């Protein structure tokens, strides 16, 4: 309890001065790089990741966190989040919703060009587990198409998929795995969707990371509270000794994992 209280208090103080942190331009790169690393994964080794649903997750050391953002891209929050990540030289994975990508393809490119991994989150954000398989498959394919088209021929999306609401069926899993796409669940939930107050996003994320010890953290880049919270969440993670891991696809095959 005392720990949580200190987070809330520090968050309350910090939330008054967000620009100081967000405007920083990684003045100490060596320190930043010592707090993060990149791992390359392929579906044959890591087909299903995230211990809330699956037995396996990414091979992370204690205290290592993979930041993931679902549902975007949208302005102004996705660019705000990019700014906060850049200020700390942190790379993340964005699971993009096709409909939002179709409306703002330049934001998808902006995320990619900032060095982050760009994966898929369906087209319409329907609950795929409640759709007939053919419709679910179509929605996933449209989502992949929207992201791929937005990125254009020179940028390759990561073969990573996370289901809306984390709801998926065995049939959908088989379909995605047949396309060499890694299916992501989560290890820790910020529950940012439920919070309007950025302090609550920081507090809950840290509590969940504290419980999990390491792993994939779920956030949403369409949320104003998340965008405001992120500089402080990164600061709090640093203060508590957490390090970030950027997950990229291991591109050994010519298709990069997106076989038809």
Residue 192 touching Zn ion (CB under 5 A): no
Can 220 be counted among the known catalytic residues?
yes
- CA pair distance 180, 28, nearest whole angstrom: 38
Q: Which residue is nearest to Zn ion (CB)?
A: 70
User: Which among 48, 69, 44, 66 is positioned nearest to 57, based on CA atoms?
Assistant: 48
Q: What CA–CA distances, in Å, run from 152 to 75, 102, 156?
A: 20, 12, 8
**Considering only 7-15, 32-40, 65-73, 173-181, which stretch makes contact with Zn ion by CB under 5 A?**
65-73
Sole window of 15-23, 37-45, 147-155, 163-171 interacting with Zn ion (rule: CB under 5 A): 163-171
CA distance 136 to 171: 10
Catalytic annotation, pick one of 70, 185, 192, 221: 70
Shortest spacing between CB 71 and Zn ion, in angstroms: 4
Given candidates 71, 80, 139, 185, which one binds Zn ion under the rule CB under 5 A? 71
Closest Cα partner for 25 from 74, 79, 80, 89?
89
CB of 121 to Zn ion, least distance (A): 6
Which of 50, 98, 159, 164 forms a contact with Zn ion (CB under 5 A)? 164
Instruction: Give dist(CA 207, CA 256) in Å, integer.
Output: 36
Q: From the CB of 30, what's the least distance to Zn ion, in Å?
A: 36
Indicate left, alpha or beta for 152 from its phi (over 0: left) and psi (-120 to 50: alpha).
left
Cβ proximity to Zn ion, 70 vs 139, nearer residue = 70
> Is the four-CA dihedral 12, 34, 67, 204 of positive or negative sign?
negative
Least spacing, CB of residue 120 vs Zn ion, in Å: 11
70 catalytically annotated = yes
> Which residue is catalytic, options 116, 220, 221, 246?
220
Segment near Zn ion (CB under 5 A); pick from 30-38, 63-71, 143-151, 197-205: 63-71
Contact, 93 vs 69, CB < 8 A? yes
8 Å CB contact between 179 and 249 = no
Q: Give the residue, chosen from 64, 70, 88, 185, that forms a contact with Zn ion under the rule CB under 5 A.
A: 70
Footprint of Zn ion on this chain (CB under 5 A)? 70-71, 164
What is the set of active-site residues? 70, 220
């Amino acid at each position: 309890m005392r720990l949580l209280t200190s987070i809330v208090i520090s968050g309350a103080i910090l939330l008054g001065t967000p620009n100081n942190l967000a405007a920083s331009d990684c003045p100490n790169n060596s320190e930043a790089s010592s707090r993060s690393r990149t791992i390359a994964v392929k579906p044959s080794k890591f087909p299903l990741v995230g211990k809330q649903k699956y037995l396996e997750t990414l091979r992370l050391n204690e205290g290592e966190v993979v930041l993931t953002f679902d549902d975007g891209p949208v302005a102004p929050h996705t660019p705000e989040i990019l700014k906060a990540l850049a200020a700390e030289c942190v790379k993340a994975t964005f699971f993009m919703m096709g409909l939002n990508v179709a409306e703002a393809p330049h934001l998808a490119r902006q995320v990619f060009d900032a060095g982050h991994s760009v994966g898929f989150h369906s087209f319409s954000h329907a609950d795929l587990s409640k759709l007939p398989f053919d419709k679910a498959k179509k929605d996933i394919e449209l989502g992949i198409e929207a992201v791929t088209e937005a990125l254009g021929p020179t940028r390759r999306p990561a073969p990573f998929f996370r289901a809306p609401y984390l709801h998926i069926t065995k049939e959908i899993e088989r379909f995605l795995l047949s396309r060499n796409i890694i299916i992501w669940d989560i290890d820790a939930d910020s529950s940012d969707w439920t919070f309007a107050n950025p302090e609550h996003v920081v507090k809950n994320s840290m509590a969940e990371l504290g419980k999990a010890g390491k792993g994939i953290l779920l956030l949403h880049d369409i949320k104003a509270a998340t965008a405001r919270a992120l500089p402080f969440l990164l600061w709090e993670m640093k203060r508590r000794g957490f390090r970030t891991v950027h997950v990229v696809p291991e591109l050994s095959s010519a298709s990069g994992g997106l076989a038809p």
